[in-house]
Amino acid sequence: MAIFETTRRDFLIGTGALVVSLRLASPALGQGPGAKPVALDQVDSFLAVNKDGTVTMYTGKVDIGTGIRVALPQMVAEELDVALDRVTLVEGDTALTPDQGPTWGSLSVQVAGVQLRQAAATARRALMDMAAQRLGAPAGDLGVKDGVVFVRAEPSRRVSYAELIADRRFDLKVDKDAPLKNPKDHILVGQPAPRPDVLAKVTGAHTYAQDFRLPGMLHARVVRPPAMGATLQGVDESSIQGIKGGPRVVRQGNFLAVVATSEWAAVKAARQLKATWSTWEGLPEQSKLWEHVRSTPIAKDDVAVDRGNPKAAIASAARTLKATYDFAVHTHGSMGPSCAVADVRGDKARIWSPSQAPHWLRREVAATLQIDPAGVHIQYLDGAGCYGRNGHEDATCDAALVSKLVGKPVRVQWSREDEHGWDPKGPPTLVEITAGLDAQGNIVGWDSELWVPKADITEWPRTLAATLAGIPQTPAINPGNIHRNLDPSYPFANQKAVAHRLESTPFRPSWIRTPGRMQNTYANEVFIDECAAAASADPVEYRLRYLTDPRGIAVLRAAANLARWDARPSPRRDPQTGSIARGRGIAYVKYENARTYVAGVAEVEVNRTTGAIRCTRFTVAHDCGQIINPDGVRAQIEGNIIQTVSRTLKEELRWNRSRVTSVDWASYPILRFPEVPEVVMELINRPTEPPWGVGEPAACLPPPAISNAVFDAIGVRLRSVPFAPTKVMAALKTTTPPRA
Amino acid sequence: MVTLSVNGTTHRLDVEPDTPLLYVLRDDLALHGPKFGCGLAQCGACTVLLDGRAVRSCSIPVSRVGKAKVVTLEGLGTPQNPHPVQRAFAEEQAAQCGYCVSGMVMQTAAFLSQRRASPSDVEIRQALQANLCRCGTHQRIIAAVKRAAALMGKGA
């Protein structure tokens, strides 16, 4: 098990950066009598007070680069009144941590943090009761400072948490009514705190999954079919003879791999191995993708909202607008290809994986190995940034299967081509919206349709290893909750939004950062801009006609103010000479119409000669309720914006009828330093509100805000992500430019 | 056998001559600072210094290194005694997943070592344009490069 351990003496430099040491100890499996509890209703599942007064806390969530490695300890340290550097976090060890769900959906602080905090509040109350008895004073007369309880009127009468409970269990259920500290007394929550892993990461002292090694471990590479649905017809094992290190072939069904004692020998063998595969051309023609999507059978319709009578309202409206928005297939594009280590012995498997969902992954590993999930023990180790279900789970099952087949510990490292070519994809998304406007240009009816694959939301996507090896698995597809935010974030009197859930989609889908909410907000927020333009209204003023939620109004106004919003209708009418035209666009959303409020302004430069768009500045206003770590919130917003500007302007998976062809950074380019916008923001902190998610909401903003800014600049509507220069040039040819 | 000077130590290694330097560093010398990102010299995660120049170790066969001195992230500094560039990156919290950051630090170290004056934003962006980051940490990395320049006493 790996413990991210921080201690006071490790404080190193002015900002309080911490050293993280990775302590590898023998595992204490979470089963059987005496095992550490992991149930979600037990205080002991979440935390323990140690003899030295430090606190160990446990979470099933993992820090995939988001900074929860410090945010969750801030919440617990605050509630317990212990110093932050005396709290140690154990994350993602399936034997030691409670299953708090996968690390997805911007829910780590909002759900897991709140669970941990409630456990800490329950523990604190129990500790105060014990102290009251020990000190012979009523609990109400006691105070706590850094884990030491004292009688307020007589501070020399004191007892430490360690003396009260060290190394013993609380044996308490988490009490949902245990009182929380008053936010006005918070000293850690709401303050920036540095992440404990950054100094180790910048000095090479941090152990990533890619760095993890076991004694006697073999290196494996999986040999992928040249066509996604091809079957293996033959393998010429002699083709890898002579490679030093004696690599050998491992095969089950269509699952083909090579193993070797040295990594380079495995790489060479994978490249050199001659195998014969059947042909397969089951992918749709890329140029006909949207026809393919529209003609895919519909499994069912999900109605996101149905209020009033939008059809009648639109039919009797003074003016009708209709537009279609499409959003390309995206890959996760993690910087480090997926990697995992597995040691399978009979019906037991030890796994080291960077999966965002170690608890759930037990099921997939067990299914791959055809053993009981109880025999699978997974330890999370950091991988490269994970923005959803990328290739980590597949690489993990690859490693498990190869380890089973060779009877030794095995490390599988995917290649760049594996990652770009075979990770599950964000599915193609199509939205069509119709609205009716009255004579004043106000929206009187809103009717939208979404075409996306169905979702077996509690099932995992099928793994490559099981699919290729012919191991039975649930025939599920799961692209995540991609219907969310289809309903607009405005309370129009007449509105309907329907998601057509398709039976299939060309690529094995999964969730990529802000799944569906990004695509739906893009359509909604461009479309409302189109309505504003039709009404010759300022886009901010137009949105404020409908918004009634005070927190929504606050973020919209804050973003506009911070960006020095120039109130006027789009497109701009002043003559812009030269090839560069500038514009600004806004977007707003209440995430899932249930939590974090965000608004953003994009400022763009459009080159009218080349069609190239540059987003120069992006301004965000953000209300996630109670802020735990403002520096962490800022980092997440920066990441949301920059990554999504990349997705919006540049990214599109390419394929032929057999396979993905955009399999490296040349064929799937992402944003580079010279193209990165300046990101500025205002955080609205509401300490008395619940803490909401931060890792995804702001990523809704760039596609619509940039589209709206381009319209402002050159009068051209972009309705197809990515906003490639060719699309801009084509649109310019068919659009009459605005006249001054 | 290949002789290799890494972080001030000379090693005699029994590795295939066509092995990329990156694999030798990571697998034979257990130096995990340089990362495998693409194997194609496209992303910069594997960047090390070769006689002070930033190079992509994934695409250099170990036999071609010759007498050049290799410096990895670990050779630049340690958690206890970080190089000013490492210190600046930590102080700016210029990492999310941190997988690209080794390459960013090495590229920055090479870039700043050749300069007297503190670089402008545009110069920093240009210097790092071949290093990719997926998490969107760019803004903090630019700030870290500026901070590093100041720590290293680069003039205005």
- CATH architecture of the domain with residue range A517-734: 2-Layer Sandwich (3.30)
Task: Please say whether the beta carbons of A225 and A254 come within 8 A.
Answer: yes
- Answer yes or no: is B15 within a domain: yes
- Residue of A202, A206, A643 lying closest to B135 (CB–CB): A643
- Answer yes or no: is B17 within a domain: yes
Same domain, B17 and B71: yes
Which of B76, B103, B136 represents a domain boundary (last residue)?
A: B76
Token pair, residue A71, equals 């945010």
Burial level of A449, CB count in 10 A (0-12/13-18/19+)?
Answer: middle
Q: Beta A255-260 vs A218-222: how paired, if at all?
A: antiparallel
Q: Is the dihedral of CA A588, A628, A103, A305 positive or negative?
A: negative
What are the pLDDT digits (tens) for A97-141?
999 999 999 999 999 999 999 999 999 999 999 999 999 999 999
Distances (CA, A) of B19 to A109, A243, A258, A308, B139: 44, 12, 17, 68, 35
State the residue range of the domain holding B147.
Answer: 84-151
Phi first, then psi: what are they for A75, rounded to 5°? -65, -40
User: Rounded distance, CA A389 to CA A457, Å?
Assistant: 13
* Alpha-carbon distance A359 to nearest alpha carbon in chain B (angstroms): 21
Closest by CA position to A629, among listed A695, A702, A680: A695
User: Rounded distance, CA A675 to CA A670, Å?
Assistant: 10
Indicate the class that CATH gives domain A2-203: alpha beta
Cβ contacts of residue A188 below 8 Å, gap of 6+? A74, A77, A78, A84
Same domain, B69 and B101: no
* Alpha-carbon distance A508 to nearest alpha carbon in chain B (angstroms): 22
**Interchain proximity A19–B91, CB inside 8 Å:** no
- CATH architecture of the domain with residue range A209-279+332-422: 2-Layer Sandwich (3.30)
* DSSP assignment string, A473-495: --------STTTT-S-SS--SSE
**Interchain proximity B79–A383, CB inside 8 Å:** no
> Is-above-0.90 flag for pTM?
yes
* Alpha-carbon distance A679 to nearest alpha carbon in chain B (angstroms): 8
The pLDDT value recorded for residue A11 is 30
Q: Is the dihedral of CA A173, A178, A181, A183 positive or negative?
A: positive
* DSSP assignment string, A399-430: HHHHHHHHTS-EEEE--HHHHHHHS-BBPPEE
The pLDDT value recorded for residue A736 is 67
A642 touches chain B (CB under 8 A): yes
- Answer yes or no: is B32 within a domain: yes
Closest by CA position to A528, among listed A487, A573, A587, A603: A587
What residues of B are in contact with residue A674 (Cβ under 8 Å)? 122, 125-126, 129
* CATH number of A286-331+425-502, picked from 3.40.50.2000, 3.30.365.10, 3.40.640.10, 3.40.50.300: 3.30.365.10
* CATH number of the domain that residue B12 is part of: 3.10.20.30
User: Rounded distance, CA A390 to CA B137, Å?
Assistant: 20
User: Rounded distance, CA A714 to CA A476, Å?
Assistant: 44
* CATH number of the domain that residue B106 is part of: 1.10.150.120
- Answer yes or no: is B124 within a domain: yes
The pLDDT value recorded for residue A166 is 87
- Answer yes or no: is B156 within a domain: no
**Interchain proximity B38–A206, CB inside 8 Å:** no
Task: Please say whether the beta carbons of A416 and B40 come within 8 A.
Answer: yes
Helical H segments across A473-568, by residue range: 517-534, 539-544, 550-562
Cα A299 to the center of its chain, rounded Å: 27
pLDDT tier for residue B154 given thresholds of 50, 70 and 90? confident
**Interchain proximity A264–B100, CB inside 8 Å:** no
User: How many domains, chain B?
Assistant: 2
The pLDDT value recorded for residue A690 is 98
**Interchain proximity B35–A642, CB inside 8 Å:** no
The pLDDT value recorded for residue A163 is 97
User: Rounded distance, CA A409 to CA A261, Å?
Assistant: 11
**Interchain proximity A639–B86, CB inside 8 Å:** no
Which of B22, B53, B76 represents a domain boundary (last residue)?
A: B76
Q: Is this prediction's ipTM beyond 0.90?
A: yes
* A61, HSE (Cβ side, Cα atoms, 13 Å): 29
Q: Count CB atoms within 10 A of the CB of residue A279.
A: 11
- Answer yes or no: is B109 within a domain: yes
Task: Please say whether the beta carbons of A651 and B100 come within 8 A.
Answer: no
Same domain, B69 and B88: no
Instruction: Please name the residue of chain B whose CA is at the shortest distance from the CA of residue A640.
Output: B136
Same domain, B6 and B72: yes
User: Rounded distance, CA A591 to CA A599, Å?
Assistant: 11
- Overall residue count recorded for chain A in this entry: 740
- Residue of A199, A205, A413 lying closest to B36 (CB–CB): A413
Task: Please say whether the beta carbons of B143 and B94 come within 8 A.
Answer: yes
**Interchain proximity B124–A643, CB inside 8 Å:** no
**Interchain proximity A673–B39, CB inside 8 Å:** no
Same domain, B72 and B104: no
Question: Which secondary-structure segment (H or E) carries B90?
Answer: helix B84-91
Same domain, B104 and B131: yes
Q: Which residues of chain A have pLDDT under 70?
A: 1-33, 736-740
DSSP-assigned beta bridge partners for residue A720: A326
User: Rounded distance, CA A109 to CA A194, Å?
Assistant: 16
Task: Please say whether the beta carbons of A626 and A732 come within 8 A.
Answer: no
The pLDDT value recorded for residue A33 is 58
The pLDDT value recorded for residue A201 is 98
The pLDDT value recorded for residue A572 is 95
Instruction: Please name the residue of chain A whose CA is at the shortest distance from the CA of residue B20.
Output: A264
User: Rounded distance, CA A79 to CA A180, Å?
Assistant: 7
- Answer yes or no: is B117 within a domain: yes
User: Rounded distance, CA A287 to CA A428, Å?
Assistant: 13
Task: Please say whether the beta carbons of A418 and A224 come within 8 A.
Answer: yes
Same domain, B69 and B99: no
Same domain, B65 and B118: no
The DSSP symbol for B28 reads I
Average pLDDT of every residue of chain B: 97
What are the pLDDT digits (tens) for B23-65?
999 999 999 999 999 999 999 999 999 999 999 999 999 999 9
The domain locations on chain A are 2-203, 209-279+332-422, 286-331+425-502, 517-734
Same domain, B72 and B125: no
Task: Please say whether the beta carbons of B118 and B155 come within 8 A.
Answer: yes
Same domain, B54 and B99: no
- Answer yes or no: is B123 within a domain: yes
Token pair, residue B34, equals 């340089």
Same domain, B47 and B95: no
